[in-house]
Amino acid sequence: MSSDQSGRPLDARVAFIVGASSGMGRATAIRFAEMGAKVAVAARQTALLDELTAGLHSAGANAMVFPLDVRDRPAIDAAVARIGAEWGRLDIVVYATGTNTKERALDRLTADGWSELLDVNLTGAFHVTQAVLPGMRAAGDGLIIYLSSNAANRPDVSGVAYQASKRGMVGLAHGVMEEERRRGIRTTVIFPGLTDTPLLAKRPTPTPPEVVAKALQPADVAEACAFVATLPARAHVPELILVPSGL
């Protein structure tokens, strides 16, 4: 997946960013577009998604938008099919969708809350993965980047459902890599530490401003995605941990 040295690093590449309406996904979509990629963006929040797409178009980027819920497999299949029909390829997928709940402690977490986090954070990643693999297999090339969380490596008070879903994403990514590496497909899991995104608002106790001031910014995670996406196909980054230097 090396770039054309005469152009931008991701010229002629097609990227699908799932969970692009805010935070890390939005920043990654913008960065990939700046680097020359055609960018398809998907999320549930239609208004934010439309705002993002309008900005990409205004900047001269080639972008298409898919308002969808990652639990809706037919919608995901339809989006992937349209990307293939209109752009003829799909090179890079970034699964940036993630959620949490304020009722995350075990004595407050409900079965419905557990199911929602697993469905959105992990099962959605499975749906997207299974949908994009046939086209990548046919092309003999492809990269899937999963945005997990450093909570998957260092358990904290983010909640057992969140940690289980983000850790499960690691198993998904590595399992896909083992099955698909001979077809030219690679996977990477990125583990961001504390990042200043809207997800912080779902914490039961507000994060102190002085701590947020030291957090990663979504653009930092986008740069990590860009680094992985611009490596040659012979190079594989299984995991990448990115944490704030001051915390």
User: Is residue 202's pLDDT more than 60?
Assistant: yes
pLDDT of residue 155: 81
Two structure tokens written together for 54 = 């309008």
User: Which residue from 141, 162, 152 is spatially nearest to 239, judged by alpha carbons?
Assistant: 152
Q: Does 220 map to a domain?
A: yes
Mean pLDDT of the chain: 95
From the candidates 32, 146, 162, 191, give the one annotated as an active-site residue.
162
Provide the domain limits for residue 109.
14-242
Two structure tokens written together for 111 = 């079965």
Tokens 């349209």: give the residue. Answer: 82
Two structure tokens written together for 72 = 């809706």
Q: Which stretches of 75-181 are assigned E, i.e. beta strand?
A: 92-95, 142-147
pLDDT band at 243 (very low <50, low <70, confident <90, very high): very high
Q: How far apart are CA 73 and CA 63, in angstroms?
A: 22
User: Is residue 210's pLDDT more than 50?
Assistant: yes
User: Is residue 4's pLDDT more than 70?
Assistant: no
pLDDT band at 2 (very low <50, low <70, confident <90, very high): very low
pTM of the model: 0.95
User: Is residue 216's pLDDT more than 50?
Assistant: yes
Q: Does 230 map to a domain?
A: yes
Q: Does 120 map to a domain?
A: yes
Two structure tokens written together for 97 = 């969708």
**Residue range 84-104: mean pLDDT, rounded:** 96
Residue 247, classed as helix, strand or coil, is coil
How many Cβ atoms are within 10 Å of 139's Cβ, its own excluded?
16
pLDDT of residue 7: 84
What's the structural domain count of the chain? 1
Q: How far apart are CA 96 and CA 18, in angstroms?
A: 6
Q: How far apart are CA 30 and CA 20, in angstroms?
A: 9
DSSP string, 55-94: HHHHTT--EEEEE--TT-HHHHHHHHHHHHHHHS---EEE
How many Cβ atoms are within 10 Å of 148's Cβ, its own excluded?
27
Q: Does 247 map to a domain?
A: no
Q: Does 112 map to a domain?
A: yes
Q: Does 9 map to a domain?
A: no
User: Is residue 3's pLDDT more than 70?
Assistant: no
Distances in whole angstroms, Cα of residue 203 to Cα of each of 105, 156, 157, 221, 229: 11, 12, 10, 20, 31
Q: Does 8 map to a domain?
A: no
How many Cβ atoms are within 10 Å of 121's Cβ, its own excluded?
26
Q: Is 162 part of the annotated catalytic residue set?
A: yes
Q: Provide the CATH number for the domain around residue 204.
A: 3.40.50.720
Q: Does 90 map to a domain?
A: yes
